[in-house]
Structure 1
Amino acid sequence: MDMFLPDSLTLVALLGCFAVALVAGVVKGMVGFAMPMIMVSGLGSIVGPEWALAGLILPTLCTNGWQAMRAGPRGVWQAVVRFRVFLAVAFVMLILSAQLVSVLPARAMQVMIGLPIVAFALSQLLAYPLKLGSPPPRRVEVGVAMLAGGIGGFSGVWGPPTVAYLTALETPKRDQLQLQGVIYGLGAVALLGAHIGSGVLSTTTAPFSAALVPVALVGMWIGFRVHDRIDQVMFRRATLVVLLIAGGNLLRQGLGL
């Protein structure tokens, strides 16, 4: 196998990695998030958690850039201004928590991410919606940003708290898609820098991550086409179902089931 791939990765396993990236792209294009969750859980079962984390970094960066710019640069600037406190707090927490990758057990990480995802998705699907004022209390914004950035740094997965936050604000689907692209895109830049520093993304792992980018972009193009055809109610339900499935899979892996 080529030098930029894990030694144990066979051709079939590599095709499995491409399939994971394609599915992650489709889902992200449709609901605006879940690429890191799908890639962490899917790639993690093929190449292990550290290679999975390295593998998702460049596809996440590229797809979020496309997602953020889909409605034009004006929308990007408006999103940055509106969520400047959220972005600043999450950025700092992401950089700090990235150093935990080498010390936190992989299974503990999976349970810590999966449990709150499942709890939130179930509560929403069972008609117990969480609603926040507009604008929300500053302490809520800071708290969610700390949680999202903290989880994102050591796992590459910062979507669930952010999705829960935007869903609780009852954000329209088109706006939510772009907002997620901006928030996750800036987070992806921070994640890239953090894991160059931590050594997770290196000359050994970066080519593997780059190889997944074209497949993820194709998947995202498909997902965008689906997104444009569904209404707000279907978008919200699809978002929650994706959260529930991804969270459940992370819990399963973390508990060794």
Structure 2
Amino acid sequence: MISPFVLRTGIIAATFVVAGFVKGMTGMGLPTVAMGILGTLMLPAQAAAVLLLPSFITNVWQLFAGPGVRALAKRLWPMMAGIVVGTLAAASFIAGGGGVRAVAGLGVALTLYALAGLMAWRFSVPPRYERWLSPAIGAVTGVVTGGTGVFVIPAVPYLQGLALKKEDLVQALGLSFTVSTIALAIGLVSENAFAIRDLRESLFAVIPALIGMFIGQRVRGRISPESFRRWFFICLLALGIQLIARAFV
């Protein structure tokens, strides 16, 4: 008979191999996939705690992969400030004892992200709107992050709408995800929702995540990106619907 510890460790390892594979293929998606899978097995606050170190390490790697970090930080700092404020303000939601609402919120976030991806939703942000829209988008992203542990809504569609060069977009996503991870960690600690066991599991999850990233990067050129993204969003949609249904059963 498999012990609960071995079973939990195996599930975490498999989850982060899959999540790392998705990030290696697409440049994003590790937190989203990890939260979606682990959210079906544990409370979102526990899943978010396990997510912290693999997310931080892989996103810092992505952030510093190019030369434009300083310019992007100067341009996007209002958005980053909004992410921090929104995440800290909402951290009590994911850390609270009522896990049902957090599970439902996670399901809604995954469902919206999947639908946006499947419909190829894109919009353009005129430069004159960026000054006030950037902190607002950051704050909303922070609230979603603090409430669900998912960093992508609405940050990813917004950054895609800024007409950044491909390399700059990858770095901007890395910057947004890194700041979100740090803010979420601070929020969980301030709410006493981060235990020593979570730190051990988070550290353990780094290796499977890096293995998955390596595999994803190697496979990226052999699979049609359009086909992969379509099935990725379909799987996220199924996860989101399952989490919403679970919260109300």
Q: TM class, shorter-chain normalised?
A: 0.7 to 0.9
For residues 1-257 of structure 1, what are the structure 2 equivalents within 5 Å? 9-71=4-66, 74-103=67-96, 105-115=98-108, 117-119=110-112, 121-123=114-116, 125-126=118-119, 129-134=122-127, 136-226=129-219, 229=221, 242-256=232-246
CA spacing shift, 1:153–1:144, aligned 2, 3 Å: same
Q: What's the % identity of the aligned pairs?
A: 24
Deviation, structure 1 residue 114: 3.7
State whether residues 21 and 216 of structure 2, in contact with CA within 8 Å, keep that contact through their aligned partners in structure 1: yes
Q: Which runs of 5+ in 2 are unaligned?
A: none
For 1:76 and 1:46, the matched residues in 2 are separated by: 37
For 1:182 and 1:148, the matched residues in 2 are separated by: 13
For 1:47 and 1:114, the matched residues in 2 are separated by: 14
> In structure 2, the residue corresponding to 1:45 is in which secondary structure?
coil
State whether residues 36 and 240 of structure 2, in contact with CA within 8 Å, keep that contact through their aligned partners in structure 1: yes
Deviation, structure 1 residue 136: 4.1
For 1:130 and 1:245, the matched residues in 2 are separated by: 24
- Alpha-carbon displacement from aligned partner over 1:32-57 (angstroms, at most 9, x marks no partner): 22222211221233344332121111
Deviation, structure 1 residue 240: 6.5
CA spacing shift, 1:216–1:127, aligned 2, 3 Å: closer
Report the TM-score when normalising by structure 1: 0.81
Q: Which runs of 5+ in 1 are unaligned?
A: 1-7
State whether residues 24 and 217 of structure 2, in contact with CA within 8 Å, keep that contact through their aligned partners in structure 1: yes
Letter matched to residue 90 of structure 1: I
Deviation, structure 1 residue 121: 4.4
For 1:166 and 1:84, the matched residues in 2 are separated by: 13
Deviation, structure 1 residue 80: 0.8
CA spacing shift, 1:164–1:252, aligned 2, 3 Å: same
Q: Which moved further from structure 2: 163-172 or 79-88?
A: 163-172
**Alignment coverage as a number of residue pairs:** 245
